[in-house]
Amino acid sequence: MGHRGPFYETAGVVRDIDQNHIMQLLALVAMEPPVGFDADFIRDEKIKIFHTMRVMDDEYLDNFIVRGQYGPGKINGRNVPGYREEEHVSPDSNTPTFFAAKFHIDNWRWAGVPFYIRAGKRLGKRTTEIVIQFKQPPLRLFGRTCDILEPNRLVLGIQPDEEILLRFSVKHPEGTNKLYGVTMNFNYEDSFKITRHPPYEKVLIDCMKGDLTIFARQDGVEAMWAVVDPIIERWESIPAINFPNYPAGSWGPKDADELIKKDGRTWQTW
């Protein structure tokens, strides 16, 4: 959070990152192919995703949305303060610094497919990734020795490394019917020998060029707020009683792990 105490006290994690960054990434992953690469064609498809996201009532919010606030901890061997000890932050602040959720997109393509989201401050590592986990096949071609398989995963790295990883299982050429997980890795910086640029350089260049592809349109902004407003209203009406509930340097509160474990899944780990 740095020195953004006054801002973060009024914003919190949902307004800071979920309403904009996370919603945009979710839409880019889930949207249908646009009819062309025109900015409005792309934004039209993203808005369809926001409109088809399942409406969340209070019961859903209480069961499938997790909030957290970090306490004191260690990062890279250095002691760091908790959120309530940060500069310009109230000592009894109810502001969430962590968010985890299970979303549903109720359209034909994504019916029954859960979308798990988590984001937070003072976590174990600064990273942004999209992980797409493939379903297990109904038939075990390699027999009973492969009843428990590591799921195939496609990982889209956004920061700190822009990369695409495909994690899948292979059979050792000289072994028995046992599968081993391997990773194919494509990294933009390594492959093209490019120099990393400041993160907002492309945004400023596209703005000057008049290319609106990566910019949110007004109806899209309103649709994103319609998704997250119920979360904000619920959390502000019922203050958290267990803050802080995760130490700095960890991966968030235990409730976030339980959220995904209930479905027999786990978060991506590093």
Tell me which residues are annotated as active site.
Answer: 21
State the alpha helices, DSSP H only, in the chain.
5-13, 23-30, 39-52, 58-64, 188-192, 201-209, 218-237, 254-261
Taking the C-alpha atoms of residue 167 and residue 216, their distance in angstroms, rounded to an integer, is: 32
Give the position of tokens 């069961």. Answer: 63
End-to-end CA distance of the chain: 22
Cα torsion for 54, 266, 70, 59, to the nearest 10°? 30
Contact criterion met (CB below 8 Å) for 69 and 242: no
Q: Which two tokens stand for residue 220?
A: 């899209």
> Who's near 74: CB < 8 A, 6+ residues apart?
80, 247, 248, 249
Q: At 241, which amino acid appears?
A: I
Question: How many C-beta atoms surround the C-beta of residue 64 within 10 A?
Answer: 18
Taking the C-alpha atoms of residue 27 and residue 48, their distance in angstroms, rounded to an integer, is: 9
Contact criterion met (CB below 8 Å) for 56 and 18: no
**How many helices, marked H, and strands, marked E, lie in the chain?**
8, 11
